[in-house]
Amino acid sequence: MVQDCIIVGGGIAGLQAAIQLGRYSTYDVLVIDSGEGRSTLCRNYHNILGWPLGISGEELRKRGREQAEGTGIRFVQDKVITAARSDAGTILLEGESGIKYEAVTILLATGVSDRIPEIPGLISTLGSSVYICPDCDGYEIQGKLTVVMGAGDAGANMALILAERTRELTYVNHEALPLSSKLMEQLRMMGISYIEAKITEIRQASEGQIEQIVLDDGNVLLAERGFIAFGGNWVHSELADQLGAKLSPNGHVKSNPRSKQTSVDNVWVAGDVALHAEQVTVAMGEGSIAAIWIHKALRERAGLT
């Protein structure tokens, strides 16, 4: 069966697009979701309209899926590994399951995976008291005793960004990667403490609340908040690349800023895999925009415009 649209990725951008397309009550739309992504890790988003006390990524995804299914959108769990154009101009996808899929249009909402070392206690604090995005959650560390856990220049740059939020700031270079002399001097000038040591454990005062960072040299750092910045994040743009879409030098997928269509016909992109601020609220907006323009393209194909 040829779908009108396949959405690859069931995170925030993909779900918002699915809801928008489902509400047209016209199209056969399939969401292929691997069940992974940043939103599966975040314990609490605090910067979303209407959720001042926060909502977890898992709960947001659950509610979004139920809302989309209520409009007739279908979901399947699979991970798409290949994408190609058929002789007829449709888009052919194949999942790890071996199942083949075909669609007139596709939306790639495949996201980004942060490089997160296996530090005991770290994952369970993400989104509650340890954060990734300074634009999303810099507010949460205002005046708090904060430790940036990172690697090399990536961690140093994060610490410098956060210095305007709190003066009680320490950067732990977990992997002991080299820092540029310029960044080292900037850390010193901003009064940011610098430690080069491996982190062996994150201890919590209560569920999700960071309290201590244990180092391999035996030292223990107190912390009310944390940020991570290890660099080397994985942008999941492989499918876009296989279809010939233009990528930016950092691997994100380029698109028309108005429609979110890529440089390839009938291929759209939304969310963190695209060129944007990598925020959940932006991902929602991009998902809606892409869906609206997919709707326009399908109407045009059907001769309705």
Q: What is the mean pLDDT of residues 11-32?
A: 98
Q: 302 pLDDT exceeds 80?
A: yes
The CATH number of 3-114+233-302 is 3.50.50.60
Q: How many CA atoms within 13 Å lie on the side-chain side of 162? A: 37
**What digits encode the pLDDT tens for the residues 35-76?**
998 898 888 999 999 999 999 999 999 999 999 999 999 999
Query: Could you tell me the CA-to-CA distances from 262 to 19, 105, 106, 108, 248 in Å, in that order?
Result: 21, 12, 11, 10, 12
Q: How confident is the model at residue 275 (pLDDT cuts 50, 70, 90)?
A: confident
CA dist., res. 166 & res. 145, Å (int):
8
State how far Cα 26 lies from the chain centre.
29
CA dist., res. 283 & res. 11, Å (int):
9
Nearest to 18 by CA among 100, 91, 76, 57: 76
How many residues in total does the chain contain? 305
Nearest to 159 by CA among 232, 219, 226, 216: 226
CA dist., res. 7 & res. 23, Å (int):
15
Q: 277 pLDDT exceeds 80?
A: no
Q: What is the mean pLDDT of residues 122-143?
A: 94
Q: How confident is the model at residue 276 (pLDDT cuts 50, 70, 90)?
A: confident
Q: How confident is the model at residue 115 (pLDDT cuts 50, 70, 90)?
A: very high
Query: Could you tell me the CA-to-CA distances from 186 to 98, 141, 157, 182, 192 in Å, in that order?
Result: 52, 20, 9, 6, 9
On whether the CB atoms of residues 195 and 173 are closer than 8 A, the answer is: yes
Instruction: Enter the DSSP assignment of 252.
Output: P
**What digits encode the pLDDT tens for the residues 146-201?**
999 999 999 999 999 999 999 999 999 999 999 999 999 999 999 999 999 999 99
Single-letter amino acid code for the residue at 154: A
Q: How confident is the model at residue 305 (pLDDT cuts 50, 70, 90)?
A: confident
Domain covering 130-229: architecture: 3-Layer(bba) Sandwich (3.50)
Q: Three-state DSSP class for 126?
A: strand
Domain 3-114+233-302 and domain 130-229 have a common topology? yes
102-103-108-113 Cα dihedral, nearest 10 degrees: -20
Dihedral (CA of 85, 90, 94, 98) sign = negative
Delimit the domains of the chain by residue range: 3-114+233-302, 130-229
**What digits encode the pLDDT tens for the residues 22-38?**
999 999 999 999 999 88
Q: 6 pLDDT exceeds 80?
A: yes
